[in-house]
Amino acid sequence: MNYDFSDKEFTLFVEIEALIGNFAKQTDSEKNDPALSEKNTRKALALLSQTPYLKLGLENLPDYNGLVTLMGAMEVVAAASPSLFLSIETSARIFGRILSAWGSDDQKAKLLPALLNGQIVGAVGLSEDTMNVENDPLTTTGTAHHNQVTISGHKQYVINGPVADWFAVAGRMDGKNVLFLVKKGTEGLTIGEKAATLGYEGATISKILLENCAIPADQVISPKNDNDLLATLRLWENQILMGASLGLMKRAFETAKTYAKSHRTGGRPIIAYQEVGFKLSEMLTLFQTSQLFAYRAAWTADTEPKDAESLTLCAKVFCTESAEQVASQAMKILGGSGFLSGNPAEGAFRCAKYGQIAGTSTEISRVKIGDFALGSMK
Ligand SMILES: Cc1cc2nc3c(=O)[nH]c(=O)nc-3n(C[C@H](O)[C@H](O)[C@H](O)COP(=O)(O)OP(=O)(O)OC[C@H]3O[C@@H](n4cnc5c(N)ncnc54)[C@H](O)[C@@H]3O)c2cc1C
């Protein structure tokens, strides 16, 4: 286990920070405006395609330490703009990993280069209309006839729904869990309006409805071990939510630190008050512990995949719950200005809630971690 980043990795982080950090500062990437979100997502993907970032986790890049490098790089992107991060990761890392892990050679050739060049945006429909896939089987179904498959189902929350060119839709066909690749504009695919959300307002989220939506049969992805499909998608989602949490903590911590040094009251900067320093030290402890936990989970997913699920759930709970605590402490340091809309600390606080309910929620994670612990005690 070595989580020290190499010079090449640091160079990559600096490059990403320069590209996406500067872009996020120039554009209002957290603004609730669907047209702007689409423009920003496409531009951000194009910028990142100039670096190896979009390929991390999808390809074996010898200069980098797999998912550990990815975790470090995700922190940089999420700290620059949480909303851009969510859109980019859904497209490159979840839609992209679906293709790279399970796609046929033809499917990969058709979509992966364009995805990794930032020319197309992907979205993933997993959660069904009225239930959580953790508890119930998928209800979206595909029926094959001749060279076509007709899909019916509703997906309640789809990140990038209003802006995506391609959707990977999870469903059942011939008694198996599969993914249907559906192109925007396909007859029978209806995209809902952008939903208003508590956080990540600059990302687009909508329902998608599939009503007798016919796709060519070669647009079905059928993983060999279909029983692992949902758990694998959740694992990838949980990794992204850890990266998001690290970025939110960095954003909140840096904002609070800068403010504590510059804001004066009682004739001195507030950092001179010991209680403010204690808050910063608690925040930094949670942030750095989360980093180590996330790196270890990432390293285990690369090296000992069979041990990764339980460790990732532990790390995901720790990182996502810490993100809320760190953002909350940052808001206290910012005083009244922390309560005003639009500062990075209150934005991080709102976004942190998403990490706790999405992927494997904190509650479901705790149940599963307990099950793993009991299993290992047998
Ligand atoms: C902004 C946003 C974006 C999203 N983007 C996407 C996307 O791009 N693609 C996609 O497929 N989905 C997406 N989702 C859906 C998201 O994954 C689900 O909201 C999530 O899986 C939770 O499902 P649910 O809302 O039905 O909650 P429920 O499952 O109804 O859970 C409600 C509460 O009950 C608890 N609970 C449920 N089951 C158990 C259990 N077995 N044990 C203990 N506690 C339990 C939960 O922890 C939670 O506290 C998105 C959601 C949001 C809010």
Any idea which residue has 């189902």 for tokens?
Answer: 153
Helix axes of 274-303 and 229-262: crossing angle, nearest 10 degrees: 160
pLDDT-derived band at 376, boundaries 50, 70, 90: low
Instruction: Answer whether 205 contacts ligand 1 (Cβ < 6 A).
Output: yes
Q: Which atom in ligand 1 lies closest to the alpha carbon of residue 126?
A: 11
What separation, in Å, do the N-terminal and C-terminal C-alpha atoms of the chain show? 27
231 CA from centroid of ligand 1 (Å): 14
Instruction: Answer whether 126 contacts ligand 1 (Cβ < 6 A).
Output: yes
Read off the tokens for 8.
């090449």
Any idea which residue has 């992907």 for tokens?
Answer: 122
Instruction: Answer whether 98 contacts ligand 1 (Cβ < 6 A).
Output: no
pLDDT-derived band at 137, boundaries 50, 70, 90: confident
241 CA from centroid of ligand 1 (Å): 13
**Residue bearing the CA closest to ligand 1, atom 34:** 363
Instruction: Answer whether 94 contacts ligand 1 (Cβ < 6 A).
Output: no
Instruction: Answer whether 354 contacts ligand 1 (Cβ < 6 A).
Output: yes
d(CA 92, CA 127): 19
| DSSP H stretches of helix in the chain | 7-16, 22-26, 34-48, 66-80, 82-88, 96-102, 105-116, 229-262, 274-303, 305-333, 336-339, 344-357, 362-377
Instruction: Answer whether 365 contacts ligand 1 (Cβ < 6 A).
Output: no
Q: Taking the domain 227-377, which CATH number applies?
A: 1.20.140.10
Instruction: Answer whether 135 contacts ligand 1 (Cβ < 6 A).
Output: yes
CATH class of 122-224: mainly beta
Check residue 102 and give its pLDDT. Answer: 97
Cβ pair 222, 229 in contact under 8 A: no
Q: Could you please state the CATH topology (level 3) that the domain comprising 7-116 is classified under.
A: Butyryl-Coa Dehydrogenase, subunit A; domain 1 (1.10.540)
CATH topology identical between 7-116 and 122-224: no
Q: Ligand 1, from 85, 237, 364: best to mutate by most atoms within 8 Å of Cβ?
A: 364
357 CA from centroid of ligand 1 (Å): 6
pTM (predicted TM-score): 0.96
Instruction: Answer whether 127 contacts ligand 1 (Cβ < 6 A).
Output: yes
Domain boundaries, the chain: 7-116, 122-224, 227-377
φ, ψ of residue 162 to 5 degrees: the values are -70, -15
d(CA 313, CA 228): 16
Q: What is the pLDDT of residues 228-245, one digit of tens each?
A: 999 999 999 999 999 999
pLDDT-derived band at 136, boundaries 50, 70, 90: confident
Check residue 129 and give its pLDDT. Answer: 79
Q: What is the pLDDT of residues 333-358, one digit of tens each?
A: 999 999 999 999 999 999 999 999 99
133 CA from centroid of ligand 1 (Å): 8
Torsion of CA 159, 165, 76, 331, to 10 degrees: -30
Instruction: Answer whether 125 contacts ligand 1 (Cβ < 6 A).
Output: yes
Mean pLDDT of the chain: 95
Supply the DSSP symbol for 91: I
Instruction: Answer whether 124 contacts ligand 1 (Cβ < 6 A).
Output: yes
Q: Ligand 1, from 157, 205, 208, 368: best to mutate by most atoms within 8 Å of Cβ?
A: 157
- Percentage of the chain beyond pLDDT 90 is 93
